[in-house]
Homo-oligomer: A and B are copies of this chain.
């Protein structure tokens, strides 16, 4: 209250500008939204009035009238994960280019929060959303569509094309690349350290890994051992080391493939604490190619995803859905790339 009354000018609207420029409100609106329809001379006059009165458009008014707001939601699983922040940058850059504001919402990997956030987007009549769904249940998103807010699924290649757009990276190919790399180094078995299999991405990475062993004539059932953790963070990776090493030094695996760089970094730390050396005693492969994968020593061999590009592509797709007259849902698939650093080495008995 005190803040408002302290303000210099008591809030000026389009009508005030119109009066000041000797023109009708409709014309001012046109200057703002379709400048080409208004004559040069009047346009300049209006712009002068806008500048002089320090007019700032009220987006509530326009979204109310037009039924949609000029902002898009970005629903991420975890704001803390560097993977998402990189994606966010891509989305933001592209959105800024289209004049859209980005509302960042964090589901914190929890259904309930996702539902709340989706509802919020509906209340804001958001133009669209880029969403990383928290699990396989897409009902929240279908509801959102019915409310008139379209969306693009991120990193979920499994959404049907009649339901919505999606942008993702080929997780099967990524898992396979990691597997082939290790096999090429002479490894004949690997431990796959992962988050919950409820997450589609990790399932696909696992399948890719198995496929790599299969194509080399090995039996994936015996070659690939799986350790499932509830979350994909460093602490979980560190904790999992004991499980990895259980069975004693004789049966100790010589290679770990982690579903995530965060897990992998945790594992490397845990191994170090127990006196094991990477890559001499154990090869470690991660997934994502987070910035710090290059900062640890040894550098982490990992499957790189085009994070920034992923965000850009998603936003571009959304934009085309918003403007395009005859839009059909599309599925964009990026291919990941293996980045070899120091954390993997040839198998030695």
Chain B residues within 8 Å of A29, by CB? none
Interface size class of chain A, counting residues whose CB lies under 8 Å from the partner chain: 35 or more
Chain B residues within 8 Å of A59, by CB? 123-125
Q: Which residues between 221 and 266 of chain A lie within 8 Å of chain B, taking CB atoms? A: 234, 265-266
- Copies of this subunit: 2
A346 at the interface (CB under 8 A from B): no
In the complex the two chains form, is A148's CB within 8 Å of B295's CB? no
Q: Which residues between 117 and 160 of chain A lie within 8 Å of chain B, taking CB atoms? A: 119-120, 122-125, 145-148, 150
Chain B residues within 8 Å of A292, by CB? 234, 265, 292, 295-296
A325 at the interface (CB under 8 A from B): yes
A33 at the interface (CB under 8 A from B): no
Chain B residues within 8 Å of A150, by CB? 3
A104 at the interface (CB under 8 A from B): yes
Quick one: which of A2, A60, A89, A124 has the most chain B CB within 10 A?
A: A60
A180 at the interface (CB under 8 A from B): no
In the complex the two chains form, is B295's CB within 8 Å of A297's CB? no
A122-B56, A297-B272 known; A80-B69 Cβ under 8 A: no
In the complex the two chains form, is A7's CB within 8 Å of B79's CB? no
Q: Which 5 pairs, one residue from A and one from B, show the smallest C-beta to C-beta distance?
A: A104-B104, A60-B64, A60-B63, A265-B295, A59-B123
